[in-house]
Structure 1
Amino acid sequence: MSVSGAENRNGRLKDAILIAGPTASGKSALALALAREMDGVIINTDSMQVYSVLRVLTARPGPEDLRQAPHQLYGHVHPGEAYSTGRWLGEVSALIDEGVLAGRRAIFVGGTGLYFRALTEGLSPMPSVPVPIRDHWRARLAEEGPATLHALLRERDPATASALQPADGQRIVRALEVLEASGRPLSAWQGEASGGSLVDPASCRCLVLEPARPLVTRRIEARFEAMVEQGGLDEVRALLALDLPPDLPAMKAIGVRELAAFLAGTQSRDEAITQAKAATRRYAKRQMTWFRNQFGAAWRRVAFDDGEAPLNSVRDMLGLAP
């Protein structure tokens, strides 16, 4: 397999490496090790690590990591913006078009399954939504809350509603505004043919890390303690100072709500940390379930129950010499 970031004649990125896994599974460390060996470029594939302000709480690579290998699409979005899968995919396409990845191995790493799906399968076409319609549904969300709008969506587009949590205001509003703007359910749009993969399926290598559950739990416990000590509270203060709407994705980053409650004096520091750890464990469980059910045979499973993902085993899976 050639070491190249060039595109093939179909315009898809060749020889890419995709590394998915739950939070605290060691994805970033593995990607960095491979990037050093291969002269690679690491591309963020995590919906929370795109945001500025929250470097520590979203476990973005630190200054030393950035010195060791080039990283793209990290911390470049203001938390006041509602970033989307479509925007992420467009930015990856721009990296390819602008030659940023040329001559280097592209290593995609993160925990957002929908980003990986968009990368490998493309995105379904979506209608444009007029500003008045978008503003209308956002105002209703603020006034009535997500549960009420979820019940409304269940009447109008039950297929989409069944796939969404009643508290997921952003996605519920998206489904309602698409329905009003186009007269078709979001589920119908999502069922249409996509624009195709950005990565060449014949040459890309897809890995999903599957650490043992006790290992993930131990790492989550230790990591969140370290996040608080390394500036997590200061990041939450800075985020709250922006006075952003609470339904924005960045405001839902794990640890923000819990540490904000501590800063407001409504719960103790220990209570906030305990709740944030529990929320992180639940999130990791959902990620592992999603990867297990949604990723098919093209994805190689890397199971381990202690330490980091075994680098030699990964090299074997990638067809690389040790």
Structure 2
Amino acid sequence: MISVLCIAGPTASGKTALAVALARRLGGEIVSADSQQVYRGLDAGTAKPTPEERAAVPHHLLDVAEPGEGMDAARWAALADEAIAGIAARGRLPIVAGGTGLYLRALLRGVAEAPGRDPALRARLEEEAAREGRPALHRRLAEVDPAAAARIGPNDLVRVVRALEIAAGGRTQTEVFAGHAFAAARYRYRLLALDPPRAELHARIDARVPLLFSRGLLAETAALLARHGGRLPAKLPLGYAEAAEVLAGRLEPGEATRRVQVAHRRYARRQVVWLRGEREVEWLAPPVDPDALAAGLAAWRAAAAP
């Protein structure tokens, strides 16, 4: 069984820096498990690894989908399996780094068996959201599956609709996921999660968001609008809707920054909630000594050698 190191944690917690540091010490390659960084051309707005980081260590599963195309967990896991097999065949350590909990679960435990898509129900739910507002649909989800509502933001229409669609099949998404968590592991793995204090994490988020804007978020948004007839495609990462409002003159840059900061803080909270429900998570309180951590991981890796 292939050994895989996973590095998770909330946004802005330092996952990329730690993954690069460990990859350099352990002879690893990084597989991104970030549902926002899969999109081509959305570099600044998703805080992708820098050119220097990508030059230092090979990265996989960045820039593998077009904005608006969508990337579900099953498709991502299939791509990750392929990347991991190639890394292992080269005698290197696959390091899966990212904060998308559903991707990590699909990789480590397989894709949960859930009801299929119901186009008619989806259409009704989307019409309801358009008529009454996305928060109203989110409140309905909170009534039938409070835990799912805690994981999913009120404006994440795609995931809210999917959770309601699953619940309509007789079992809530939370119940499906809970049963799935006990599926057999697909890899020999360690799952490390960064856990900075909340105040420190919020400070890191608040410092990062202005950099997203200054490093090209507005330009990326303008390019998207130009390619899509003046409208943003669906399923975009956080920040692009606010950037479009700035470009249209409907929102001041300072207020846009504040809103994106709040959205990222809420997203970070949901990521932590998800990870708290996962099995075999090893929580790390920053600062992390990469040399000491790498030494322990090298011993773990060597224990699997034939």
TM-score if structure 1 supplies the norm length? 0.77
1:107 counterpart residue number: 95
Code of the aligned partner of 1:260: A
Unaligned runs of at least 5 residues, structure 2: 301-306
The partner residue of 2:235 within 246, 249, 261 is 249
CA RMSD of aligned residues (A): 3.2
* Greater percentage in helix: 2
Tell me how far 1:88 sits from its aligned partner.
Answer: 1.4
Tell me how far 1:280 sits from its aligned partner.
Answer: 2.2
Equivalent positions of 1:57-76 (< 5 A) are 57-76=45-64
2:114 counterpart residue number: 126
2:297 counterpart residue number: 318
- Seen in structure 2, the aligned counterparts of structure 1 residues 246 and 153 have a Cα distance that, compared at 3 Å, is farther
1:288 counterpart residue number: 272
- Seen in structure 2, the aligned counterparts of structure 1 residues 162 and 122 have a Cα distance that, compared at 3 Å, is same
Deviation per residue, 1:121-162 (Å, 9 max, x gap) = 22222344365665565455445543454566678x557865
1:5 counterpart residue number: none
Code of the aligned partner of 1:47: S
Distance 1:312 1:87 in 2: 34
**Among the aligned pairs, what percent are the same residue?**
36
Distance 2:148 2:29 in 1: 38
- Seen in structure 2, the aligned counterparts of structure 1 residues 227 and 129 have a Cα distance that, compared at 3 Å, is closer
The partner residue of 1:275 within 252, 259, 266 is 259
Equivalent residues, number: 295
Tell me how far 1:312 sits from its aligned partner.
Answer: 2.7
Equivalent positions of 1:1-322 (< 5 A) are 8=1, 14-96=2-84, 99-102=86-89, 103-129=91-117, 137-138=125-126, 141-143=129-131, 145-150=133-138, 158=145, 166-178=154-166, 183-187=169-173, 189-190=176-177, 196-200=184-188, 204-241=189-226, 242=228, 248-250=234-236, 253-291=237-275, 293-296=276-279, 298-304=280-286, 309-319=288-298
Question: Residue 16 of structure 1 contacts residue 199 of structure 1 at CA under 8 Å; is this kept in 2?
Answer: yes
Match of 1:301, SS state, is strand
- Seen in structure 2, the aligned counterparts of structure 1 residues 90 and 243 have a Cα distance that, compared at 3 Å, is farther
Question: Residue 300 of structure 1 contacts residue 317 of structure 1 at CA under 8 Å; is this kept in 2?
Answer: no
Question: Residue 141 of structure 1 contacts residue 173 of structure 1 at CA under 8 Å; is this kept in 2?
Answer: no
Question: Residue 145 of structure 1 contacts residue 169 of structure 1 at CA under 8 Å; is this kept in 2?
Answer: no
Deviation per residue, 1:249-274 (Å, 9 max, x gap) = 21xx2222322222121222222223
Code of the aligned partner of 2:15: K
Code of the aligned partner of 1:294: G
Question: Residue 170 of structure 1 contacts residue 248 of structure 1 at CA under 8 Å; is this kept in 2?
Answer: no
Match of 1:16, SS state, is strand
- Seen in structure 2, the aligned counterparts of structure 1 residues 149 and 244 have a Cα distance that, compared at 3 Å, is farther
Deviation per residue, 1:209-250 (Å, 9 max, x gap) = 122334333332332222222212101212333259778321
Code of the aligned partner of 1:229: S
Question: Residue 21 of structure 1 contacts residue 208 of structure 1 at CA under 8 Å; is this kept in 2?
Answer: yes
Code of the aligned partner of 1:217: H
Question: Residue 112 of structure 2 contacts residue 176 of structure 2 at CA under 8 Å; is this kept in 1?
Answer: yes
Question: Residue 21 of structure 1 contacts residue 288 of structure 1 at CA under 8 Å; is this kept in 2?
Answer: yes
Tell me how far 1:117 sits from its aligned partner.
Answer: 2.3
Tell me how far 1:80 sits from its aligned partner.
Answer: 1.4
Distance 1:154 1:217 in 2: 26
Deviation per residue, 1:87-112 (Å, 9 max, x gap) = 21122223345x35422100011112
Deviation per residue, 1:18-53 (Å, 9 max, x gap) = 111121121111111221222211011111111122
The more displaced of 141-150 and 102-111 is 141-150
Unaligned runs of at least 5 residues, structure 1: 1-7, 9-13
